Structure 1
Amino acid sequence: MPSAPTSKAAPGSPRTPLLTVIAALVGFEALLLLAGAAYLVHGLVVEGSRAPAAVLSVVVLAVGFAAAIAFCARGLLGRAAWARSPLVVWQVLQVAAGLPAFSGGSPLLGLILVLPAVAVGVGLFLPSVSAQVGR
């Protein structure tokens, strides 16, 4: 009697291009975080700050989140099911951070934050991606 097909792709099967694109977008999000941290450090060094400890704390958090997001992108490339949950949470947070930019006078920043987050958030639930990283 043949066994029922499983939803997860076989370990030796090639990764779908969509999964690779989603992982690349997540890598882009990690680079955005690093760019934001570098911008803060530049501002701290060039312009100074009344609260350098606060700026450095945000920089450390941004670098830590960038590392975590990059780790999840690597997990997606390896088809790890655990990588989806933190990435979904991150996409929601990124959209929440990007939406105020539209009304705050920086629509380009809003687009840079919101568009990849929506693309990744939707992409993580597409059937072809779920088949690759599902349990």
Structure 2
Amino acid sequence: MTTERPARPPLPLVLALLLVLVEVGALAALAVGMLVEVLGGATVSGAVTAVLALLFLGICALLVVAARALHQRRRWGRGPLVTWQLLVLATGISQSGVIPGGIVALLVLLPVAVTVGLLVPPSVAWADRTAPPRAVV
């Protein structure tokens, strides 16, 4: 008896991955802005800012690769995505008294929504490799 797995990813997973891409866009915009400041001479510590911007761009690349992997039913992508969400959540909570409340709410609600979307049973089942493998012809 073979069980057919769905051909399309579940909606919670798709929504979570779209939110991850929004996060990637925001982080990439921040990194590009930092590099523009360095190239324009608007920052005192240019080398440190440039390295930090490149680190952010590397994180963006990792998140995109992880999201693509999870979309293609490779469960290893879930780890980096959930880890990033926990870091964003911790940042939001730690900055609650420093930055405006709307940004704090975004930094708390967005990672919670993404993590829930990644961990609901249909999303987990989507990338579950314990199901019978496809026949190789």
C-alpha displacement at 1:63, in angstroms? 0.3
In 2: Cα distance, 1:124 partner to 1:52 partner? 37
Superposition RMSD on alpha carbons, in Å? 2.0
* Alignment match, 1:134: 128
In 1: Cα distance, 2:128 partner to 2:105 partner? 30
Runs of at least 5 residues in structure 1 that lack an aligned partner in the other structure: none
Runs of 4+ in structure 1 over 6 Å off: none
In 1: Cα distance, 2:22 partner to 2:45 partner? 29
Runs of at least 5 residues in structure 2 that lack an aligned partner in the other structure: 130-137
How many aligned residue pairs are there?
A: 129
Contact preservation (8 Å) 2:16, 2:115: no
Contact preservation (8 Å) 2:9, 2:123: no
C-alpha displacement at 1:91, in angstroms? 0.9
After TM superposition, the structure 1 stretch with the greater mean CA deviation from structure 2, 34-43 or 84-93, is: 34-43
| Pair 1:54-2:34 in alignment | no
The SS at the match of 1:124 is helix
Taking only the aligned residue pairs, the percentage that are identical comes to: 29
Contact preservation (8 Å) 2:31, 2:57: yes
The SS at the match of 2:43 is coil
Higher relative contact order (CA 8 A, sep 6+): 1
TM-score, normalising length from structure 1?
A: 0.83
1:52-89 Cα deviation digits (max 9, x unpaired): 00000100000000011011111121121111111111
After TM superposition, the structure 1 stretch with the greater mean CA deviation from structure 2, 66-75 or 44-53, is: 44-53
